[in-house]
Amino acid sequence: GNSVTQMEGPVTLSEEAFLTINCTYTATGYPSLFWYVQYPGEGLQLLLKATKADDKGSNKGFEATYRKETTSFHLEKGSVQVSDSAVYFCALFSGGYNKLIFGAGTRLAVHP
């Protein structure tokens, strides 16, 4: 069945460091891929998405590229800020299954 695997956290970085959070998926067909973020005390928010192979989603300095050949959708940011501290979830949506399938989440802590 469809599944998402993302790197375990927590990830601890200093401000202005480079961030990568790995995400790989298993899916039939051609799913859409998403990164959601959950800030402390808040609900899930869409961070970015990509709906077909080689698409790059971007938002707030974060980027992720849909790599069909490696079934990956790694999240990157060139220079993290303390305000980026949150839990990040990779997810896929396959129309045949009509639901988002999430990874377990990766907690990011950024220190000044």
Partner 1 sequence: GAGVSQTPSNKVTEKGKYVELRCDPISGHTALYWYRQSLGQGPEFLIYFQGTGAADDSGLPNDRFFAVRPEGSVSTLKIQRTERGDSAVYLCASSLQAQDTDTQYFGPGTRLTVL
Q: Judged by CB under 8 A, which of 32, 66, 75, 77 binds partner 1? A: 32
Could you count the other beta carbons within 10 Å of the beta carbon of residue 92? 23
Sort strands 86-94 and 106-111 into parallel, antiparallel or unpaired: antiparallel
Cα separation values, 79 from 7, 19, 83, 84, Å? 19, 7, 12, 10
Q: Judged by CB under 8 A, which of 1, 40, 69, 95 binds partner 1? A: 95
Question: What is the Cα–Cα distance from 110 to 11, expressed in whole angstroms?
Answer: 8
Question: Binding-site residue total for partner 1 (CB under 8 A)?
Answer: 26
Q: Does residue number 100 form part of the binding site for partner 1 (CB under 8 A)?
A: yes
Binding to partner 1 in span 35-94, by CB under 8 A: 36, 42-46, 49, 51, 89, 91, 93-94
Which chain residues interact with partner 1 by CB under 8 A? 4, 31-32, 34, 36, 42-46, 49, 51, 89, 91, 93-95, 97-105
